[in-house]
Amino acid sequence: MRVLSPVGTFPVRLTGARMERGAPVIEAAMGAWRSEVRLEPADLPLLLTAGAIIAVAFAAGRLTSGHG
């Protein structure tokens, strides 16, 4: 995965995951920068929508490539 920022495009590498106060925290690194993504219950609709969009995109790609 790559992230586009105002100072360039950087590869993202997942470095770990943990639970903190009952919520998942995903640790990542973008080059020299370390990042954390903290997921809260209010994020669930967004995560489900993003997952559905990715699933539909992959399914559409398979169908149009003749591998479906």
Whether residue 68 is predicted with pLDDT greater than 60 in this model: the reply is no
**What distance in Å separates the CA atoms of residue 33 and residue 2, rounded to the nearest whole number?**
13
pLDDT score, position 67: 65
DSSP structure string for 38-56:
E--GGGHHHHHHHHHHHHH
Task: Give residue 55's pLDDT band: very low, low, confident or very high (50, 70, 90).
Answer: very high
The string of pLDDT tens digits covering residues 12-36 is: 899 999 999 888 999 999 877 788 8
